[in-house]
Amino acid sequence: MKICVYGAGAIGGHLAARLVATGGHEVSVVARGAHLSAIRDKGIWLRVGGAELGGKPSAATDDAATLPAQDVVLVALKGPSLPAIARPLARLLGETGFAVFLMNGVPWWWNYGAGKDAPLPLLDPDGALWRMVGGQRALGGVISSSNQVVAPGVVQNTGGDRWLIGEPGGETTTRAQAVVDLFRAIGLNGALSSGIRGDIWRKLFVNISSNPFAALTRLPSRAAADVPGLDDICIQAIHEALAVAAAMGHDLRGEIDPEKIVKPAGGRAPGRSSMLQDVDAGRALEIDGIVGQVREFGREKGVPTPILDTILPLLRGLDTSMRLAREN
């Protein structure tokens, strides 16, 4: 197969390194900056379990237009970057290709097949993804794997290995199974989801209680646990998201215990959340997929979300200050 990893950062770099190391496919990578230069020069490498694996992909570029049409595109960019790639992504998919969106939070394709045939303005402002890519060419992905780019061309895995893939409608298809089989073949714990929207909510409950607060406080997970009162706010954020999910038809309140998410029995894992990594690097924050759209769903359904109402403008203010710093 022709496989393109579009965005070879922490998650994308992990996948690209495994795909290249395993072989058997024509693997292309879309990346940028020093990371791209290192991939071209020395390849993409993954450090995992005391080993290092990887190699040089068939092609590495910052211009997707230089690549031929692909059988599958693994999109590992974060939400804010997606609308800008609608046209090049659509061209990469050609007539028969499809894309797997590996991202946190509510995805841009959420309304596809869900009874509301329209894009989500917060996530796809001009509807470019909806028009050019289309929900019919999208698969969802929910990833539980902690990774960080520790040097140009090098990704470090610090734990987690669960890669759920599913059709927006929940049906079992040849293409979804093919992606699961591909992930298993490269050494990952891939699994087929029969309800990807529910799985997205389950991951979102974790993200909404960690990422925003890590970004605002600049604290890694273990240090945040020592701040009096902070855990209570994190727990309330999950309760709000649970109520919104229930109003959207995914009532998981009997399954999810916010206390156990925020205060796990074995203590919090070490490391820095993905949004905190973005703050450290001065990158745009994936605010709307994790917080903004959940708050918007709440407003549509009449569900109060006072914690989300408070942290959303704070996150947007932080994102604006970082953008101004980049511009200067």
Tens of pLDDT, residue by residue over 106-134, are 999 999 988 788 999 999 999 999 999 99
Same domain? 28 vs 138: yes
Name the band, by pLDDT with cuts 50, 70 and 90, for residue 269: confident
Q: Return the pLDDT at 156.
A: 95
Q: Return the pLDDT at 229.
A: 95
Kindly report whether the global pTM for this prediction surpasses the value 0.75: yes
Same domain? 28 vs 159: yes
Give me the CATH number covering residue 323: 1.10.1040.10
What is the mean pLDDT of the segment spanning 90-112? 96
The domain boundary, picked from 139, 163, 194, lies at 194
Same domain? 269 vs 225: yes
Same domain? 89 vs 33: yes
Tens digit of pLDDT for each residue in 70-89? 999 999 999 999 999 999 99
Q: Return the pLDDT at 222.
A: 84
N- to C-terminal Cα separation, the chain: 43
Domain count, the chain: 2
The domain boundary, picked from 194, 219, 243, lies at 194
The domain boundary, picked from 158, 173, 194, lies at 194
Three-class HEC string of 135-152: HHHEEEEEEEEEEEEEEC
3-state secondary structure (DSSP) of residue 22:
helix
Same domain? 139 vs 208: no
Same domain? 184 vs 210: no
Q: Return the pLDDT at 190.
A: 97
Same domain? 41 vs 168: yes
Whole-angstrom distance, CA of residue 88 vs CA of residue 67: 10
Same domain? 168 vs 106: yes
Domain membership of residue 188 as a residue range: 2-194
Active site residues: 203
Same domain? 178 vs 206: no
Whole-angstrom distance, CA of residue 103 vs CA of residue 126: 20
Strands (E), the chain: 2-6, 26-30, 44-48, 51-55, 59-61, 72-75, 98-102, 138-151, 154-166, 190-192
